[in-house]
Amino acid sequence: MQDANANDVAVLGAGAVGCYFGGMLARAGVPVTLVGRATHVEAIRRNGLVVEWADRRETIPARASTDVAAARDARVVLVCVKSPDTDEAARSLRPHLRADAVVVSLQNGVDNAARLRAALEQPVFAAVVYVGAYVSGPGAVRHTGRGDLVLGASRADASRPEIASRLDAVAAMFERAGVACPCSADIDAALWTKLVINCAFNAVSALGRSRYGRMARDPRIRALMEATVRESVAVARREEVALDEAELLAAVWGVADALAQQYSSTAQDILRGKPTEIDALNGFVAQRAAAHGIDVPVNRTLHALVKLREAGDDLV
């Protein structure tokens, strides 16, 4: 692979995560095309991509399109669609991908890279995303905390020739853009770590309409989140992914401190009347637990309540 910084990047699913990381790359001089919804795309074409930090606001020139065919020249494609849309994204992307492209999943959940790889011939990398961000308006994204990645190759691609050098090139591209992006030899453990953290925060933030900091300060909610972590770690271990429960609990409270003002993506989706990814979070843990004969009552309950809330309100 040539120097990744000299090659086009396409972002499929240019929402908060896609626009933040695509914006960081574009800000560093990487040619970026954002593929997203019409209202968002029109604003970016007209005014550029606006990224808002706590202390500043920048307008970043970037190409934008509503058509997935705009990814045809990209050597790196960042897939940032919601987990339920992964299979359709792979099908729509397949006829437009360069033979020498690499695909990077920047999505919640643990199986999106494998699902993309099942439909694509190109290598697929998985990125574990740690960022607080939300779409603050058409063509604008607000950053609320962190902004780093952990990158690794999917199991199906780990033994492919030159995969390590291609992985390093993508990581280096992000690093040059100011995005910390270490590579992991055990991306499954990294993905499960993020899944467990999401299971602790996302549903509770949505149901309680609460930011992370307030959740962590409430002893009753802390106990609930700890139970979610313990259940999820038990399932991960049955999936042959070794996680340390104490380290995960420490990581959860570290996220609460670092992203104290953040609402979960699940909360944001419900507030906007959009489908959530809860099936790929607490729902996924409950599904895998059932397959292993493990009872996970907290994850099952959180999943069921979010699905009920997602279906709408009876009080109007």
Which residues participate in catalysis according to the annotation? 194
Q: For 242, list phi and psi in degrees, rounded to 5.
A: -85, 115
Write the CB contacts of 100 (distance below 8 Å, at least 6 apart in sequence).
1, 75, 122
Q: Indicate if the alpha-carbon torsion angle 148, 145, 128, 185 is positive or negative.
A: positive
Q: Quote the tokens at residue 146.
A: 């962190």
Write the CB contacts of 190 (distance below 8 Å, at least 6 apart in sequence).
128, 150, 152, 184
Q: What is the dihedral of CA 105, 111, 115, 120, to 10 degrees?
A: 40
Q: Does an H or E element contain 101, and which?
A: none
DSSP characters over 257-313: HHTTTPPPHHHHHHHTT----GGGTHHHHHHHHHHHT---HHHHHHHHHHHHHHT--
Alpha-helical runs (H) found in 35-162: 38-47, 86-93, 112-119
Contact 248, 207 (CB under 8 A): no
Rounded to whole angstroms, the Cα distance separating 63 from 175 reads 22
